[in-house]
Amino acid sequence: MHDRSALGPANVSDEQLATMVAGVLECDPASTTLATSFVDEVAYDLPAITTAGRFWVQGLALVGGREVPFKLFAKHVQSWTRSPLFDQVPLEFREQAAASVPWRTEALVYRSDLHERLPEGLTMPRCLGVFDLDELSACIWLEPVEIHPVAWTTEHYAHVASLLGRMAAAPGVIELATVGGHDFHVRDYVRGRLEIQVLPMLHDPQLWEHPLVAGAFDATLRRRLLAAADLVTELVEELSTYPLLTSHGDACPNNLLTTDVPDQVVLIDFGFWTLQPVGFDLAQLLVGDAQLGRTSTAMLAEIEQAILPAYVAGLRAEGCDIALDDVRRAHALQLLLFTGLSALPVELLDQPPSPALRRTVDSRAEIIRFSLDLLDATS
């Protein structure tokens, strides 16, 4: 019995699925057929504008007449013009907005041989197949990763940072940094998200009059943030002077999985994989869990002190000699531009007041304060 209707347009033929099952079971495709197959959609509580769906595809395969269970992961990626959130983009900005999000990159990364080039300690799920569905979508089929959660201590953060530093500078990896074919410069981010959405929001008096915002942002913090917003052009030009290295693009703990292999980290979600100024991945490594309320903002200073030298040590291991102070300054600039300026959870402020919402706003205020302090400390 087969029921893969939940996949919708991402479904494949029985023959294609059997071939991928043979790959994950490491058996002869000629002697592998499907007995049963079914699909469970994976619930995901974070917005992902280029993901149409995530699915576990499971069942029984007949391998040489013997029934063997199988399980594969399928990810349906799409242009974010197909996301319901795209309807919120003003008409005059839609062409620019559509071009700003490189939805094709992840499929191109999995079609490459990046998995063979990553430094020791880093890996990625084995790709079983990538299928173009139409001109604006594709489906990526992956071998499951058996996750073995670990406590994210400062030592673990440092270990991950060292691996990201090695990845950033590894010559073989840099050769694939632009495999997505998406030319990106921080100026694009400024002309897009910052100028269109974030900066007008920060200069809206009604934002600061919201009771939750007013309670979390004192006059000094508000003044500092607005002053930094007024310096965006200058800060971007400074950031543009730093060397470009490979960046995962969203190196938050959610995308850095651990298995039962000691010290191994599995990278997932390559949608923003490209070249970025040195140290780019440190920002999301530092604040990713704090933004979601999973890590206390009181830990930010301790984590930052651990990951910066570890990242630089990773650079050194690959022969890159960029000075630690330069990496820290680039990191500070990027933390403010990509996180600090847009950290206010404005999308949540229309919800009924609650202790949880107040904690979120307070936490975001601390992230902003930390990013401003780091910028001041490195200037």
**What distance in Å separates the CA atoms of residue 68 and residue 306, rounded to the nearest whole number?**
45
Contact 266, 145 (CB under 8 A): yes
* pLDDT at residue number 183: 74
Three-class secondary structure of residue 21 per DSSP: helix
Structure tokens, 333: 């600039």
* pLDDT at residue number 137: 95
**What distance in Å separates the CA atoms of residue 331 and residue 379, rounded to the nearest whole number?**
12
**What distance in Å separates the CA atoms of residue 297 and residue 287, rounded to the nearest whole number?**
8
Structure tokens, 142: 């992956």
- Greatest Cα-to-Cα distance within the chain, rounded to the nearest angstrom: 73
* pLDDT at residue number 370: 98
* pLDDT at residue number 46: 67
* pLDDT at residue number 345: 86
Q: Nearest 5°: CA angle at 326, between 320 and 327?
A: 65
Contacts by 89-93, CB closer than 8 A, 24 or more apart: 93/196
Half-sphere exposure of 105 (CA within 13 A, CB side): 27
Half-sphere exposure of 30 (CA within 13 A, CB side): 0
| pLDDT < 50 positions in the chain | none
* pLDDT at residue number 189: 83
